Every structure is written in structure tokens, then in C-alpha cells.
Amino acid sequence: MANKILLLILIFFGFGLNSKIYSEEDHTAHQAGVREFSIVAIEYRGTKVWVPGTLIVRKGDKVKIKLINNINSDPNTHGFAIDEFGIKKVVARGEIETVEFSADKEGLFTIYCQLHPAHIGGQLLVLKE
């Protein structure tokens, strides 16, 4: 009997602890995590563009971006570059590439295709922690 009561106390106390932890997580400031994106190079009426163009993360996040080149016209490779994070990737049609980096500085950074200046890129916004 005493064991059962002890067990019940532990269960309720345990639930209480869990719900406290969860509610604290809900209300605390941002916790750094992994932010994953998939972005696609497409061609619309002759204009090549990376979509979506704006990626938003917070400082401290690990950023993982899957790059898909869906442009059917030649050339069959396009670039994805963010100078401030040392990223320069070439993405061939039909071959998914991934870039990973740590968003260790705040600010607004230009995303562009290093192979074709006319190819519309985008921007990476790194918010403060």
C-alpha cells in the first residue's frame, strides 16, 4: 500500500515537473536549434530565381539548406552563394545538394548565383539570439 502511494506521488510529481519544463520552454527566449530549408531554382518566363528567396534564422542556429535545381533550360548548373558564411555551391539539375553552416553573425546577407549574375538570388536574415 505504501509503495502504491509512493508510486502515485512520484507519477504526479513527475507529471508536474514535466509540465513545468514544457511551459518554461514555451515562454523562454529562443533556443538555438537546427533550421532546415529546401529551396528550388526555377525559371519563370525566362527569369531564373531561387525560391523561396528569403530565409530567416536566429543567431546561433545551425542552418541546413537543401538545394534543388529544377531549371530545365541550359546550362544545367546553377550556383548558390553567401559570401559571409563562405558558401559557394554548384547545383546540377537533378542532383540535390545540401549546405550546412552555423549562423554565427547577425545581419542581412545576400544569396546569389555565383555562376550567373542575372539569376535572382535572395537574402538570409539572421536575427539576434
Interface with Cu ion (CB under 5 A): 78, 113, 115-116, 119
Rounded least distance, CB 79 to Cu ion, Å: 6
Q: Tell me how far, at minimum, the Cβ of 65 lies from Cu ion, in Å.
A: 16
Q: Residue 96: which of 82, 119, 80 has the closest Cα?
A: 80
Residue placing its CB nearer to Cu ion in the complex, 32 or 115: 115
Nearer CB in complex with Cu ion: 58/121: 121
The CB-of-67 to Cu ion minimum distance in angstroms stands at 11
Choose among 45, 42, 46, 55: nearest CA to 87.
Answer: 55
What is the smallest separation between the CB atom of 81 and Cu ion, expressed in angstroms?
Answer: 10
Kindly tell me which of 93 and 116 has the beta carbon lying closer to Cu ion.
Answer: 116
Cβ closer to Cu ion: 57 or 111? 111
